[in-house]
Amino acid sequence: RTADVRAEKIPRYVRVNSTCWSTEEAVKTFISRGYRLSNPFEEKGFAKDEHIRDLLLFPPDTQFSDDPLYHEGKIILQDKASCFPAYVLAPPAHDRAVVIDATAAPGNKTSHLCALMGNKGKLFAFERDRKRFGTLKTMLARARCTNVEPVNADFMTTSPADARFAAVTHILLDPSCSGSGIVNRLDYLVESEADDGNEERLQKLASFQLLMIRHAMKFPAVQRIAYSTCSVHATENEHVVREALRTDECAAGKFRLAPRDMVLPAWPRRGLPAETDAPDDAESLVRCSPGEDATNGFFVSLFVRESLVPEAAD
Ligand code: SAM
């Protein structure tokens, strides 16, 4: 793999792990190291992100992998777009909260969910791959997540009728995908196979992604399901959402797409209208375009239980 020129335009994103300390404390620490709150494209400049709370932007070539703050779990090196799913899911932050991260390793979104939950309640984090499960546990310990129960199992084999999951209201689904949105920065851990846009492979991934959404919709108390990929292909994004909306779970009025005002309304790049059944569906979806949005390529959608969506005013 060779370095991608688009990487030069992507700031080094740093998520302040609010489970450990506050963004104000982090900002003071960076200022004491000689950084200025200004612009991440100036030397020693940094900035707060305009969309995601607790996200800071540094110059693209800044290295944090040897920084004690990273090793202590106080900062998480996480691309902006990959912060969208947990943020859009907006899990509750109280002692009775029960949330699932269905596809958790390496665990950046899990620790983000934990932070948004104020480290309260219970967060089940499923990961079926044994080795990646080890990475997940290391990462969660470093991020000091104490409300997470990691489970080395296939999410598809979990029974929605299990009493442990009876109160699950929020599910994050970030399943394996082609990884076609990932901009190679050389220092990124790229775990997906190289994407060659092979339609047969994409179809296989899409079938599995749809099964995962349909399984999540079977949990009796679930109110919100965030589905995301780091792919730029409509096959894994709009088409999977379109198929999910055509299933009985949605046709029977149980679930629908959340309206734009619940899904990062200020983010301008939305789904591709030509790939959805209705123009409003595209408005509900979020896309990130590598090279144009200063992020990796990404896709986010939010399904909500029908009874929770406020009626649109005439
Ligand atoms: N959400 C993670 C993060 O932000 O760090 C990245 C998730 S990665 C795209 C997908 C992960 O889901 C992989 O580690 C894969 O092994 C796991 N996975 C795929 N299918 C699964 C399943 N059916 N049950 C549990 N884990 C699964």
Return the residue matching tokens 């998480």. Answer: 76
The CA 200 to ligand 1 mean position distance, Å, reads: 21
Which of 198-212, 248-262, 297-311 is predicted with the least confidence, judged by mean pLDDT?
297-311
- What is the residue-averaged pLDDT of the chain? 93
Rounded Cα distance, 117 and 99, in Å: 9
The CA 129 to ligand 1 mean position distance, Å, reads: 8
Q: What is the DSSP letter of 135?
A: H
Of residues 303, 301, 156, 190, the one with CA closest to residue 237: 301
Provide the ipTM. Answer: 0.99
pLDDT tens digits along 253-307: 899 999 999 999 999 999 999 999 998 999 999 999 988 999 999 999 999 999 8
The CA 259 to ligand 1 mean position distance, Å, reads: 26
Return the residue matching tokens 């219970």. Answer: 122
Q: Among the residues of 165-278, which ranges form H helices?
A: 199-216, 238-246, 248-251
Amino acid identity, residue 188?
Y
> b or e along 276-311 (b: 16 or more beta carbons within 10 Å of the residue's beta carbon)?
beeeebbbbbbbbbbeebbbbbbbbbbbbbeeeeee
Q: What is residue 189's predicted lDDT score, i.e. its pLDDT?
A: 41
Rounded Cα distance, 210 and 145, in Å: 29
Atom of ligand 1 nearest to the CA of 101: 1
Q: How far is CA 232 from the centre of its chain?
A: 15
Atom of ligand 1 nearest to the CA of 230: 9
pLDDT tens digits along 130-167: 999 999 999 999 999 999 999 999 999 999 999 999 99
Q: What is the DSSP letter of 15?
A: E
The CA 154 to ligand 1 mean position distance, Å, reads: 9
- Which of 176, 182, 230, 300 is the pocket-test mutation for ligand 1 (most atoms within 8 Å of CB)? 176
pLDDT tens digits along 91-128: 999 999 999 999 999 999 999 999 999 999 999 999 99
Rounded Cα distance, 20 and 94, in Å: 18
DSSP states along 269-287: -B--GGGSSSHHHHHH-EE
Q: Do 46 and 40 touch, CB atoms closer than 8 A?
A: yes
Q: How many beta carbons lie within 10 A of that of residue 133, not counting itself?
A: 20
Atom of ligand 1 nearest to the CA of 109: 4
Is 145 part of the annotated catalytic residue set? no
- Which of 127, 159, 180, 229 is the pocket-test mutation for ligand 1 (most atoms within 8 Å of CB)? 127
Atom of ligand 1 nearest to the CA of 126: 25
The three-class DSSP label of residue 193 is coil
Model confidence, pTM: 0.94
Of residues 65, 80, 229, 86, the one with CA closest to residue 142: 65
Higher pLDDT, 34 or 310: 34
Write out residues with Cβ below 6 Å of ligand 1.
Answer: 82, 103-109, 126-129, 132, 154-156, 174-176
- Which of 17, 79, 99, 103 is the pocket-test mutation for ligand 1 (most atoms within 8 Å of CB)? 103
Which of 20, 114, 145, 230 is the catalytic position?
Answer: 230
CA distance between the termini of the chain: 53
Q: Do 65 and 142 touch, CB atoms closer than 8 A?
A: no
The CA 176 to ligand 1 mean position distance, Å, reads: 6
Dihedral of the CA atoms 299, 207, 218, 311 (nearest 10)? 40
Rounded Cα distance, 34 and 99, in Å: 40
